[in-house]
């Protein structure tokens, strides 16, 4: 069959996340890319994948492989988080659970700022990391990673974004991610950079949708 016929409709990817902020950001990034992203049906009712590996890559790959058993579509999963060298790399892979499994973003931010209290600018450096894995029917197709350097602000600022966005100031800027427009953040963020690698991969026909 002609590949142009196969790809005439948008490619569908199921996103393995319960984080609405992440899903909306990915859908915004996919706009105009001939790509349709949607959450795995009844995701919240499925047995949860335990993200207990020591690296973003292992958690991302494990999640994608695990949830690919629950849908006929290809699955995209990410593991991302904030790495602060002055805190020994914390919160790292525990970013979403830094203040407890059910803590709010505000609680996680407050804990981080408390632990960094008194640290001067040279020790407030940080980076956001994202690893995306594409999987289908229990097989990993590709893995993409990206990061963005920056610093932790003294206090939260901005109402946009989610997670640690109100305290992360990307390198070369004076505004936090939460103060930026969505399109401005999309030029810089770790998640956007990793996702653009995935889009390039799909556009170059390196990806073949399994039969």
| pLDDT on residue 19 | 86
| pLDDT on residue 6 | 42
| pLDDT on residue 205 | 57
Grouping H, G, I as helix, E, B as strand and the rest as coil, residue 40 is coil
| pLDDT on residue 5 | 39
Active-site residue, 165 included: no
| pLDDT on residue 207 | 52
**Domains of the chain, start order:** 3-203 (3.90.950.10)
Catalytic residue of the set 2, 34, 78, 79:
79
| pLDDT on residue 2 | 43
- Cα distances (Å, whole numbers) of residue 14 to 75, 94, 97, 101: 5, 24, 24, 24
Residues of 104-142 as b/e, b for ≥16 C-beta within 10 angstroms?
Answer: ebeebbebbeeebeeeeeeebbbbbbbbbbbbbeeeebb
Regions of the chain where pLDDT drops below 50: 1-7, 208-211
Cβ(93)–Cβ(59) under 8 Å? yes
């Amino acid at each position: 069959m002609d590949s142009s016929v196969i790809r005439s409709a948008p490619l569908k990817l199921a996103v393995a996340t319960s984080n609405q902020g992440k899903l909306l950001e990915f859908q915004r990034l996919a706009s105009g890319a001939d790509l349709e992203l949607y959450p795995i049906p009844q995701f919240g009712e499925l047995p949860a994948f335990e993200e207990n590996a020591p690296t973003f890559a292992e958690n991302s790959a494990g999640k994608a492989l695990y949830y690919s058993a629950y849908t006929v579509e290809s699955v995209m999963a990410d593991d991302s988080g904030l790495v602060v060298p002055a805190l020994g790399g914390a919160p790292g892979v525990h970013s979403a659970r830094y203040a407890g499994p059910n803590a709010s973003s505000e609680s996680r931010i407050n804990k981080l700022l408390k632990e960094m209290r008194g640290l001067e600018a040279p020790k407030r450096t940080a980076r956001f990391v994202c690893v995306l894995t594409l999987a289908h029917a229990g097989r990993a197709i590709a893995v993409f990673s990206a990061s963005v350097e920056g610093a932790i602000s003294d206090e939260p600022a901005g109402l946009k974004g989610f997670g640690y966005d109100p305290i992360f100031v990307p390198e070369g800027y004076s505004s936090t991610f939460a103060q930026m427009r969505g399109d401005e953040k999309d030029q810089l963020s770790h998640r956007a950079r990793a996702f653009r690698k995935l889009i390039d991969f799909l556009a170059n026909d390196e990806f073949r949708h399994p039969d």
